[in-house]
Amino acid sequence: MTVRGLFRDGLQGGLRRVGYQITRAPSDPTYVPNPPNTYPTYSPSQEPAFQERFARFAERTLTRPDRAYVLQQCARQAMHLPGDFAEAGVFRGGTAWFLADLLAERGDQRPLHLFDSFAGMPADADPLRDGHAGGDFGDTSLEAVRALLAPYPNAVFHPGFLPATFAGLEDRRFAFVHVDVDIHAAVRDAIAFFYPRLVPGGVLLFDDYGFEIYKRAARKAVDDAFADKPEQPLVLRTGQCLVTRLPA
């Protein structure tokens, strides 16, 4: 090894021991630092065309472009399957609008079921477990989100708390479900309802799995639910996790 290589490796080793790392600076803006990789990695969410599309919805969602790109690609693939679309956890409607627009772009008028209290987290949310207390994310309303989604007649609203709002949908089948409800009980209830109704090849995409604040909430609910099932959750660097339904 050259003197330069020894110096580089020694410097990297010393920095890692104190929690730092040197990463090569990208020359292409679609490549971003991605520790512990030394080299930047391709991030399609940084492509100008996607950035332009996402900008339409950005003010109505807490989802970042990297997660929105995964949402887009999963939804587009699921459009080739039979079954409804759904989102559990709508908040101000940004990702629901994004999904509705993706469906409309393909001329796909299947139902997009939207589940949310539109009044914030339930009173029994446990901050120590769930990372949220009752009433968090209450700065929204059913009326505002209905108005936002008015151009999309296939958007079907189910206001209230899970699992009560699943009533009447027991015979439906689903191709794609976006689960963005954060707290343990709601993620658990969403899996219990949607998993048995997911068509083969259908996708459950969990927005909150990988964030440390939700490790006892969304992550635990997903891990417990799939511990005895053949499907293996695929954890992404975005913080998301997806499950693809296997054939029976």
Q: What is the pLDDT along the chain (248 residues), one digit of tens a residue?
A: 565 555 555 555 555 566 665 667 767 788 888 777 778 888 899 999 999 999 999 999 999 999 999 999 999 999 999 999 999 999 999 999 999 999 999 999 999 999 999 999 999 999 999 999 999 999 999 999 999 999 999 999 999 999 999 999 999 999 999 999 999 999 999 999 999 999 999 999 999 999 999 999 999 999 999 999 999 999 999 999 999 999 98
CB contact burial 215-240 (16+ within 10 A = b; e otherwise)? eebbbbbbeebbeeeeeebeebebbb
- In which domain, by residue range, is 183 found? 45-244
> What are the φ and ψ backbone dihedral angles of 87, each rounded to 5 degrees?
-135, 125
What is the total count of domains within the chain?
2
Claim to verify: residue 37 and residue 134 sit in the same structural domain: no
For residue 248, what pLDDT is reported?
A: 83
Q: Are residues 38 and 73 in the same domain?
A: no
Indicate whether 52 and 12 sit together in one domain.
no
Residues 24 and 61 placed together within one structural domain of the fold: no
- Say if CB 96 and CB 104 are below 8 A apart: no
- At residue 89, φ and ψ (nearest 5 deg) are 105, 90
- Considering the domain architecture, whether residues 120 and 216 belong to the same structural domain is answered as yes
**Do residues 203 and 127 both lie within one domain?**
yes
Residues 232 and 170 in one domain: yes
pLDDT for the residue 42: 86
Could you tell me if 69 and 140 lie in one domain?
A: yes
- Residues paired with residue 32 on neighbouring β-strands, in sequence order: 41
CA-to-CA distance for 151 and 154, rounded, in angstroms?
A: 9
Residues 147 and 51 in one domain: yes
Of 140, 132, 239, give the one whose Cα is nearest residue 186.
132
pTM of this structure = 0.88
So what's the pLDDT on residue 23?
A: 64
User: 133 and 37 in one domain?
Assistant: no
CA Rg, the chain, in Å?
Answer: 20
pLDDT of residue 16: 59
For the chain, the 3-state helix, strand and coil shares in percent, each to the nearest 5, are 40, 15, 45
Residue labelled with tokens 């330069």: 4
Q: Which residue has the tokens 């693939």?
A: 77
Torsion sign over Cα 207, 81, 153, 69:
positive
Residue 207 burial (10 A CB sphere; 0-12, 13-18, 19+): buried
Taking the C-alpha atoms of residue 237 and residue 127, their distance in angstroms, rounded to an integer, is 25
3-state secondary structure of 157: strand
- Say which CATH number the domain at 145 has: 3.40.50.150
CA–CA dist 29, 37 (Å, integer) = 17
Task: Tell me, yes or no, whether 61 and 34 share the same domain.
Answer: no
One domain, residues 37 and 116 = no
Task: Give the total residue count for the chain.
Answer: 248
Q: What pLDDT score does 39 carry?
A: 83
